[in-house]
Amino acid sequence: MFNFFNLSLKLNGFPIKESTTELEKILSVSEIDYGNYINQKKKEIVEYHLKHNKSYQAFVGKTSFANWSELPVMTKKEFQKPLKDRLSEGYSPSNVYVNKTSGSSGDPFIFAKDKFCHALTWANNIRCFGWFGINFNTSLQARFYGIPFDFIGKKKERIKDLLGNRYRFTIFNLSDDVLEKVLIKFKNKKFDYINGYTSSVVLFAKFLQKKSIVLTTVCPTLKCCIVTSEMLFDDDKMLLEKQFGVPVINEYGASELDLIAFQNQEGDWQLNSETLFVEILDEENNVLPNGKEGRIVITSLYNKAHPFIRYDIGDVGILDEKSTSKKRILKKLIGRTNDIAILPSGKKSPGLTFYYVTKSIIEDDGNVKEFVIKQTKIDTFNIEYVSEFELTKLQIQQIEKAITTYLENGLTFSFIRNEKLERSKSGKLKQFVSLIK
């Protein structure tokens, strides 16, 4: 089969061949030398941004550094200003990869990667998926992700799906009638793997359980299931493996960074030590020993367009004591779960549906700093937000229209502007919370 996926990256200006060669060089560094290698990459990326990025210079307050520990920790709030003010010299929105974060932590922002960095992200994804016999060019993916509703956005995603050899199931309505149609598609297509949001995939597994169907009996080509973006609990993993009849692989990533951790063939959650440097810090920003619970703080070692240096991603985790400098293991990830919205019609929508609603809220002026959406009744939602300026009547109408489009008619919304929003004990701000028992 023709390598459409690699070709699509190349045509979009992402040097996949060069990045694959670079990844092979990184992987060839020995365990003994790996610690020194990573320290050198850390030094290089910080020095680059202190020299070429005015925003990072202003944040650090100087143009040089002596010790890694003296570098301040970045949070999402540092990125809530126009993108052009955050890019390094020589980079502009027209020559970088630009995207928006989901805002699942409640702090949405627009980010950028230089094209080599983004290609390196894909090279690493290709490697990890390959551990389980998945080839992005030839393996057919059953994709449980959202899709934009606007004509151009939808067409773009459909073209990406075609080039990426994947069939997308919408996650905005996961009622039994819809899941019955999903099941029929599995009977008629030779899917190699499932990839999607945890809550959506779990809903499909529960549907199969109700019907006493193991998915491989109707789709014997299925090799594995990869879940992402939300917490995978042990009982849900057992359910998925039982109802799908294939191994379930846990992925942890962030669009602004890269793949952060990917379950390897031994069942360990192996951290990406190739393009990222991950630290576990306490509340005073001290590095914690392996085995201790703390904040996950990440440095992107290759992104020259936009600094992510000692970046607090908003999650809490623990590194395994058996970790080495080259093969580091994430023992536990705390947080990253979303509720499911149950609507008056009986329709069920995962909390990550609101990822697509945030696209209506996010603007590059950084006005909206934080927000949460709370379902207080089956037909009633409170949208609480923190912003410099109150949302205009037009903005509110656009948000209501977007939510109605993705969910259903007849819903009631209240918009509440607050000075600050309530957070969980772990410091997380869940974007969607259901108060329906």
Looking at the chain, the domain(s) classified CATH 3.30.300 span 340-434
Per-residue confidence (pLDDT) for residue 364, from 0 to 100 = 62
Cα–Cα distance for residue pair 17/23, rounded to 1 Å: 10
Q: Are 436 and 342 in contact (CB under 8 A)?
A: yes
Under 8 Å between Cβ of 224 and 263: no
Res 425: pLDDT: 44
Instruction: Give the pLDDT confidence score for residue 429 in this predicted structure.
Output: 62
- Mean pLDDT of residues grouped by 10 in the chain (437 residues)? 71 89 97 96 97 96 92 90 94 92 69 96 94 92 83 80 84 86 96 91 90 97 91 86 97 91 94 96 95 94 97 90 95 67 85 65 68 89 87 88 86 89 56 79
Residue 338, φ and ψ in degrees, nearest 5: -130, 145
- Joined tokens for residue 274: 């190739």
Q: How far apart are CA 97 and CA 112, in angstroms?
A: 5
Q: Where in the chain is the domain with CATH 3.40.50.12780?
A: 4-334
3-class SS of residue 290: coil
| CA–CA gap between residue 386 and residue 403 (Å, rounded) | 19
Question: In the chain, what is the straight-line distance between the N-terminal and C-terminal CA atoms, in Å?
Answer: 50
Name the fold adopted by 340-434.
Answer: GMP Synthetase; Chain A, domain 3 (3.30.300)
Residue 103: its pLDDT value, please?
Answer: 60
Asked whether 57 and 46 are in contact (CB, 8 A), the reply is no
- pTM for the model stands at 0.79
Is 105 in contact with 130 (CB distance < 8 Å)?
A: no
- The CATH code of domain 4-334 reads 3.40.50.12780
- What is the secondary structure of 151-217 as a DSSP string? HHHHHHHHHHHHHTTEEEEP-S---HHHHHHHHHHHHHS---EEEEEHHHHHHHHHHHHHTT--GGG
User: What whole-number distance in Å separates Cα of residue 9 and Cα of residue 426?
Assistant: 38
What's the confidence (pLDDT) of residue 188? 96
pLDDT at residue number 163: 74
> For helices 16-28 and 4-11, what crossing angle results, to 10°?
110
Q: What is the pLDDT of residue 274?
A: 96
Contacts of the segment 78-82: beta carbons below 8 A, 24+ positions apart: 79/109, 79/110, 79/111, 80/107, 80/109, 80/366, 80/369, 81/55, 81/366, 82/364, 82/365, 82/366
Angle 123-7-227 (CA atoms, 0-180°, nearest 5)?
45
